[in-house]
Structure 1
Amino acid sequence: MSDCIFCKIIKGDIPANKVYEDQDMVAFHDAFPAAETHVLVVPKKHIDSLNHLQEEDAELIAKISLAIPKLAETLGLEGYKTLVNTGKAGGQSVFHLHYHILGGKFLKKDALQNT
């Protein structure tokens, strides 16, 4: 999508503090962190939300799910929260599927909503 901020980050049009990238996904620090460590994991394929997943996306989602613990370890997190907001009513503000990794001290009381 041409107006999607995450697609622009993936293409390199907008800079991001990346912590991981491969052919299927990119992970970068959230610009508006809700915790000491707040990283977003974004598939390079544009998928609006969990509600828009197709059977063909199963391998991609499994790969992301397996990468998250490895990323958390790389980030030095003993424990962490993962979060996926789905739909506007679910707090999703960027309509490109993304996973939040949140660890350390929480900076916002509503760290589990509207992120």
Structure 2
Amino acid sequence: MTLPAPDPHCLFCRIVSGEIPAQVLAEGETTVAFRDIEPQAPVHFLVVPRSHYPDAASLGEAEPATVADLVATAAQVASAEGVDSYRLVFNTGADANQTVFHAHLHVLGGRSLTWPPG
């Protein structure tokens, strides 16, 4: 299987490559986890695939095992951060408030999270 080339204009591709610095929390063969620069909870980090897909739906279609890796990485980092209750969020599309079009998983925790979020 041929993976998509990194997008030289994509913020997350540039973080994955090390071109743009980030507070990296974990790196694996298929994923990179780093702190969100605008945290919405005491613990808020992102887990992104190393491969570039514009959203979670396209990633899931092309690389379902990588979606599982994102969730496993989220659990490992949450545990390392001392969080055992957390929310996982994929925003898919502009109307869902996706602002960076590279699939990414938000992990939020460290406080009680209300539902529905909005």
TM-score (normalised: structure 1):
0.86
Match of 1:6 in 2: 12
Aligned-pair distance for 1:94? 0.3
Q: 2:21 aligns with which of 15, 22, 31?
A: 15
Aligned-pair distance for 1:87? 0.1
Aligned-pair distance for 1:68? 1.8
Match of 2:38 in 1: 32
Number of residue pairs matched by the alignment: 109
Match of 1:85 in 2: 91
Q: Where does structure 2 lack aligned partners over 5 or more consecutive residues?
A: 1-6
- Regions of 4+ moved over 4 Å: none
The alignment's C-alpha RMSD in Å is 1.8
Distance 1:37 1:65 in 2: 16
Aligned-pair distance for 1:63? 1.8
Distance 1:29 1:77 in 2: 14
- SS at 2:43 equivalent: strand
Equivalent pairs: percent with the same residue?
36
Q: 1:66 aligns with which of 65, 68, 72?
A: 72
Q: Which letter maps to 1:14?
A: I
Distance 1:39 1:93 in 2: 15
User: Between Structure 1 and Structure 2, which shows a larger proportion of strand residues?
Assistant: 1
Range with greater deviation from structure 2 (61-70 or 15-24) = 61-70
TM-score (normalised: structure 2):
0.84
